[in-house]
Amino acid sequence: MPTSPAVTTRRVLPGSDRPLGATWDGSGTNFALFSANATKVELCLFDDRGRREIERITLPEFSHQIWHGYLPEVRPGQLYGYRVHGPYAPEAGHRFNPNKLLLDPYALQHSGNLRWHDAMHGYRVGHSRGDLSFDRRDSAFVMPKCVVVDPAYTWGSDRRLETRWPEAIIYEAHVGGMTLGREDLPHKIRGTFEGLADPRTIDRLVDLGVTAIELLPVQAYYDEGHLLEKDLANWWGYATLGFFAPAQRYLTPNGDPNEFKLMVHRLHEAGIEVILDVVYNHSAEGNEMGPTLSFRGIDNASYYMLGDDPRHYYDTTGCGNSLNLSNSRVLQMVMDSLRYWVETCHVDGFRFDLATTLGRQRETFSRDAILYEAIRQDPVLQTVKMIAEPWDTGPDGYQLGNFPPVWAEWNDRYRDNLRAFWKGDEGTMRQLSDGLLGSPGTFDHDGRRPWASVNFVTAHDGFTLMDLVSYDHKHNEANGEDNRDGHDHNLSWNCGVEGPTDDPEINALRDRQRRNMIASVLLSQGTPMLLMGDEHGRTQDGNNNTYCQPGEINWLDWSEDRDHGFEDFVRGVIEIRKSRPHFTEPYYLHDRPDSGAARGAGWLHPDGRAMDTGDWEDPEARSTGLLIQVAGQGSVLLLVNADHEPCSFQLPGDADRVWHRLVDTDSALADPRSNREDRGSVELPGRTLVLLEARDDA
Q: Which residues are catalytically annotated? A: 353, 389
Distance CA 302, CA 299 (A): 6
* Residue 426 to residues 418, 642, 643, 650, Cα–Cα distance (Å): 12, 10, 10, 23
Distance CA 338, CA 239 (A): 17
Cβ atoms of residues 60 and 43 within 8 Å: no
Nearest alpha carbon to residue 382 among 349, 358, 414: 349
Instruction: Give me the DSSP letters along 647-665.
Output: EEEEPSS-TT--EEEEEET
Strands (E), 59-134: 61-63, 66-71, 79-85, 88-89, 94-95, 110-111
Which distant-in-sequence residues (6+ apart) come within 8 Å of 113 by Cβ? 144, 222, 248
**Alpha helix locations (H) across 229-354?**
258-269, 295-303, 328-339
Nearest alpha carbon to residue 282 among 340, 327, 243: 243
If one counts every other C-beta atom within 10 angstroms of the C-beta of residue 673, the result is 10
Pairing of strands 219-221, 110-111: unpaired
Distance CA 293, CA 102 (A): 5
Interhelix angle 504-522/412-423, nearest 10 degrees: 140
Give the Cα-Cα-Cα angle 332, 333, 336 (nearest 5 degrees). 80
Distance CA 546, CA 556 (A): 14
- Collapsed DSSP state (helix, strand, coil) of residue 374: helix
Distance CA 374, CA 504 (A): 56
Task: Tell whether omega for the bond before 395 is within 30 degrees of 0, i.e. cis.
Answer: no
* Residue 125 to residues 117, 227, 313, Cα–Cα distance (Å): 10, 18, 19
The H or E element that residue 528 is part of is: strand 527-531
**Alpha helix locations (H) across 124-192?**
175-179
Q: How far apart are the first and last CA of the chain?
A: 85
Nearest alpha carbon to residue 355 among 341, 344, 371: 371
* Residue 219 to residues 216, 244, 374, 590, Cα–Cα distance (Å): 9, 7, 22, 41
